[in-house]
Amino acid sequence: MSFGDQASLFPDGPNGLHLPELWLQQEGPEADVVVSTRMRLARNVEGFHFKSRFKEGESERLEAYLREVLLEAEPRFRYHSMPALSSTEREVMFERHLVSREHVGDEQPRGVAFAPDGRTSVMVNEEDHLRIQAFAPGFDLESVDQRVNALDDDVAGRVRYCFDARFGYRTSCPTNTGTGLRTSVMMHLPALALRPAGNTKGRDRDLVRMRNAAEELGLTVRGLFGESSRAEGDFFQISNQVTLGRSPAQTLQDVRELVKLVVEWERSNREAHLRDDPGRLDDHVWRAWGLLTHARRLSSSEALSHLSALRLGAQLDIFHEVRTPVIQSLMVNLRPAHLQLRAERELEPDERDELRARLIRDALGSSTR
């Protein structure tokens, strides 16, 4: 099975759903530790109420207006009205980080636009009228900054944003007022999370140190899917909390400073594990390989945990049976909604676990041939 051909994995849905390319199959700067970089801008349009104060029919008018604006600003975009998609298709969008959890479950008219390469997306009628996002593999603040601001400028040339000369961009939530900028870096930190043999406090100490360093810079550490999510598979997101009174340049500098520090800590811990107890690290990686290539049922969290160990092994050259892009593709494609979209029906939890285990066995087996 090839996980590079998205069309063969997921047929178009009944509403003509077209999934973007999975850019996580590529690697970027600092790819051994940094999985991806994301930048998001919150914007609202003058002439319309904030979402919490929409009048009757206003959300429909705004969505139709912004759909036209976005497709004019970026003709390559594909646009989907969220209510027209099935619940599974909406969940797939969430699992690819194209939309937020709130955008999936909301009942109001809303939409999502995204580029075919999956590196840019825009949520319409989420908490704010527009949530403009750009993504890149690895640690690449410059690339996402350039692309998200270019699209923001294109849209601003067609609409008038809610802007205050004193406070900056006006948003539904005060925590986004000012720049409206949220910068997030997804990091894989298995060595920080792996306690040294005989040390029951190592994990907590290192993770607390990371969170303390983040707080000092006005940043926060979250889980795989952002706010309120858990750090599954030792994946953590570092992002800014402050948008008012802090320039975009300063925000990027703060994020850059902390990410570089955490990258150093993670690499140092990996070297320490290899030096002090290489057999334990080998066992951690190869045990995961054994379970993934032989298990008959695997939950999402269990699969992600073992794939995390394989990613560590691939980055440390402990084994060469599978490449990192294949692992990262599996991490996305084997989440619950992706499996159901592939099966073209709702699956019971046990059915998903069995299908996930079989697809992993097939993918890892084919990677060795």
The model's pLDDT over 113-163, given as tens digits with 9 standing for 90+, comes to: 999 999 999 999 999 999 999 999 999 999 999 999 999 999 999 999 999
Which tens digit of pLDDT belongs to each residue from 327-367? 999 999 999 999 999 999 999 999 999 999 999 999 988 55
For the residues 188-207, what does the mean pLDDT come to? 69
* 66-110 pLDDT, tens digit each: 999 999 999 999 999 999 999 999 999 999 999 999 999 888 899
Distance CA 250, CA 239 (A): 13
pLDDT on residue 11 = 43
CATH topology of domain 12-178: Creatine Kinase; Chain A, domain 2 (3.30.590)
Cβ atoms 83, 47 nearer than 8 A: no
DSSP 333-365: HTSHHHHHHHHTS---HHHHHHHHHHHHHHHHH
Strand-pairing partners, residue 183, are 39
- Given a cut of 90, is residue 21 above it in pLDDT? no
Cβ–Cβ under 8 Å, residues 155 and 132: yes
Picking from 285, 184, 207, 226, the residue whose alpha carbon sits closest to that of residue 94 is 226
Residue 276 clears pLDDT 60, i.e. is over it:
yes
Among residues 252, 195, 187, 257, the alpha carbon closest in space to that of 222 is found at: 187
Query: If pLDDT is split at 50, 70 and 90, which confidence band does 369 have?
Result: very low
Residue range 203-221: mean pLDDT, rounded: 80
Confidence of residue 23 (pLDDT cuts 50, 70, 90): confident
Helix residue ranges per DSSP H, the chain: 6-9, 58-73, 87-95, 101-105, 141-156, 190-193, 202-216, 248-276, 278-294, 300-315, 324-333, 336-343, 349-367
- Of 189, 240, 190, which Cα lies nearest the Cα of 214? 240
Nearest to residue 33, comparing CAs of 188, 155, 180?
188
Domain segments of the chain as ranges: 12-178, 277-367
Cβ-contact 90, 19 below 8 angstroms: no
